Structure 1
């Protein structure tokens, strides 16, 4: 089983790293370099328009791409610091958990394609849904084509049971949707909160829950997807399934 996460816009390159297994290198480096070189030629004004970000953030990211080859590197699971990764809390994960995550967790990325948790990455911002890509591709989905799905399919085959636990956002899952082999089973997970009018989706809580579920899988070394119905972090419980769409409810 492979659990799939989205990346985060927020990054952390300052917190001291815990003891880790040996770092690894991203496996789609040639394509990453092509994107980074293309982005470096855009300039801050164009990045601001494409990414819908402030001039200050645009200048930061323009500089990141200009200096990309000299930028510091950090394992992906400890570089991303958004809500999903707050839920995962990788800083407190013990070394055996990292080793398990390396085999069973993957992170989709607009710049890197598909990352293992210990793949080292440089600071960047580039959402998968950005309507730009280097060369003749109209956007990053077209640029990556089937490459991300093909690599993910290899990882799923190596995991042994042919199952993907989809904890990614729709924006990122779209990069592989419909491109995996027919034999791959995809479990889509929906996190809901009890409310006065019934269960409701709350983005902030759902993002944290995705990270918590991936963490729970690594802590318990879960390789059978059916056992994931036992996920109970932070008050969540399995509330039912419609085919391969599972719902977890809290409150």
Structure 2
């Protein structure tokens, strides 16, 4: 069984708590995206991110200096949204850390898909962003079926805890016998849905 989740907008650098175990599987593709982003004008970057002037300046300055293989933080520690805070990876036992490394996957606009201890740097790029790269109109087209293929859904079920924005990178490629279980949380109510792709 694999669980998929979304990234968080807020990210930090943490070089102390855990060591990075690997680099992201699609790092070469990430470099293409980074190059395209670094060629954006300030105004284009602000339009892409939908950010205030203050936040745009911070992110734009960071973007120009960004390197994808230095000062890396394990992905599960780098993202700091509520989902990651409640997961509390910094206090998990060794068996629990091994479990999430084996079974949890984080979908990402820049990296495609991540294991919890893949090394990342803080970035800003949502999956629904329209950034033309190598002739593709958006990130869904850019990533294609690669994220789906990396999950090996035909061999095990997938529990989908990702937002609609991110799960849209997987759902179009589901095959008739894939087991893909949506878990949708709405306020205080929880709706667990089961989806088996139909012809």
Q: Same fold (TM over 0.5)?
A: yes
Give the 4+ runs in structure 1 shifted more than 3 A.
239-245
Distance 2:45 2:180 in 1: 34
Contact 1:39 1:134 in 2 (8 A): no
Change (3 A) 1:97 1:131: same
8 A Cα contact 2:13 2:121, kept in partner: no
Q: Aligned partners of 1:164 and 1:61: how far apart in 2?
A: 33
How far apart are 1:149 and its partner, in Å? 1.1
Note closer, same or farther for the CA distance 1:242–1:55 as it changes in structure 2 (3 Å cut).
closer
> TM-score of the superposition, structure 2-length normalised?
0.88
Larger helix fraction of residues: 1
1:190 aligns with 2:188: no
Give the C-alpha shift of residue 15 in structure 1. 7.7
Greater relative CO, 1 or 2 (CA 8 Å, sep 6+): 2
Structure 1 match to 2:174: 180
Structure label with greater radius of gyration: 1
- Structure 1 residue aligned with 2:34: 36
CA pair 44-241 structure 1, distance change in 2 beyond 3 A = closer
For residues 189 and 123 of structure 1, do their structure 2 counterparts lie closer, same or farther at Cα, with a shift above 3 Å needed?
same
User: Quick one: distance in 2 between partners of 1:89 and 1:36?
Assistant: 29
In structure 2, the CA distance between the partners of 1:164 and 1:56, relative to structure 1 (3 Å rule), is same
Q: Deviations over 1:187-214 (max 9, x none)?
A: 11122445xxxx4xxxxxxxxxxxxxxx
Instruction: Write the distance in 2 (CA, Å) between the matches of 1:141 and 1:86.
Output: 28
Secondary structure of 1:58's counterpart equals helix
1:17 match? 17
Moved more, 141-150 or 54-63: 54-63
Counterpart mapping for 1:144-223 below 5 A: 144-153=143-152, 156=153, 162-194=156-188, 199=189
- Aligned pairs, number: 195
Q: Is the 8 A contact 1:12 1:80 kept in 2?
A: yes
Kept after mapping to 1: 8 A contact 2:38/2:63: yes
Alignment of 1:88-107 (within 5 A): 88-107=87-106
Show structure 2 runs of 5+ residues with no match.
none
Counterpart CA distance in 2 for 1:119 and 1:241 is: 29
- What aligned pairs does 1:80-91 form with structure 2 within 5 A after superposition? 80-91=79-90
Q: Which runs of 5+ in 1 are unaligned?
A: 200-238, 246-251
User: Higher mean Cα deviation, 127-136 or 162-171?
Assistant: 127-136
Q: Offset at 1:71? A: 4.9
TM-score by length of 1: 0.71
Q: Within 1, Cα distance between the matches of 2:191 and 2:148?
A: 28
